[in-house]
Amino acid sequence: MSDNVPETKLTVSKRRWAEEGKFLTGKITRSETDRLPPGQHLVKNWPVLDLGQQPRIQPAEWALQIIGAVENPVKLDWDAFLRLPQSSKLSDIHCVTTWSRYDNRWQGVSTHDLLDLVMPKPEAKFVMLTSYDGYTTNLPLGDFASEDGILATHWEGEPLTRDHGGPMRLVIPHLYFWKSAKWLRRIDFLPGDQAGFWERNGYHMLGDPWREQRYTHD
Ligand SMILES: Nc1nc2c(c(=O)[nH]1)N[C@H]1C(S)=C(S)[C@@H](COP(=O)(O)O)O[C@H]1N2
Ligand SMILES: [Mo]
């Protein structure tokens, strides 16, 4: 500390924050050691995980339906979806099967912009996601609305491939990746929580990797 400024608890922590770059970008700069949630290991490749059915959806047949407790229910075809504001997000993937993958660049429609369009009613507290392969998964509206949430059409600058959920998948990176529905076709806004596919099969209703919420009994 310089000159005559007395050292206090606050100056000490502020200096540490400066060294860590905390608050610089509006995001906490995690050190490499606390970037990996408990029980996870890092991979460089990108594994494919799903129920084994990878639907092939022609652009002319594709639609995203948004129903339930919203002021403005919509059914968007592919062109209407692409006309929504476009965003880009950088985030890490954490799969419940213990692999994590850092720094994935996504492009698409942020969940914020989608919520601006459909305007959830006050009673909307949860969303249920339904995909073209019949997969379902649930999450609280607040988690769906997270700053990093995106309905992604691109990964690393390229159209999302079919095995990873193309033409469009959800990405909610602060929860285990099973919440990030591939081939998304419908979003229901609900007043109460309902279990999706894995949640009915022993997996956690929320699935926060930082609290290691893998299974229902955790
Ligand atoms: N529609 C659909 N979405 C899905 C799944 C699925 O089977 N069907 N599997 C989930 C699981 S368990 C994981 S780990 C991720 C895997 O995404 P990836 O194959 O792109 O890595 O997708 C999630 N989203
Ligand atoms: Mo998974």
Domain ranges of the chain: 61-211
Ligand 2: centre distance to CA 163 (Å)? 14
The residue whose C-alpha atom lies closest to atom 18 belonging to ligand 1 is: 48
Reference 178, options 150, 199, 147; nearest CA is 199
Model-wide pTM > 0.85? yes
Residues lining ligand 1, CB < 6 A? 46-51, 95, 131, 133, 135, 164-165, 177-178, 180-183
User: What is the sign, positive or negative, of the torsion defined by CA atoms of 182, 76, 197, 212?
Assistant: positive
CB-count exposure of residue 91 (10 Å: 0-12, 13-18, 19+): buried
Which ligand 1 atom is the nearest neighbour of the CA of 97? Answer: 14
> Could you tell me which residues come within 8 angstroms of residue 38 by beta carbon, excluding any fewer than 6 positions away?
209, 210, 212
CB-count exposure of residue 165 (10 Å: 0-12, 13-18, 19+): buried
Give the pLDDT of residue 34.
86
pLDDT band at 25 (very low <50, low <70, confident <90, very high): very low
Tokens of 86: 């476009």
Superfamily of domain 61-211: Oxidoreductase, molybdopterin-binding domain (3.90.420.10)
The residue whose C-alpha atom lies closest to atom 17 belonging to ligand 1 is: 49
Ligand 2: centre distance to CA 59 (Å)? 27
Reference 49, options 89, 99, 90, 91; nearest CA is 99
Per residue in 73-93, pLDDT (tens digit) is: 999 999 999 999 999 999 999
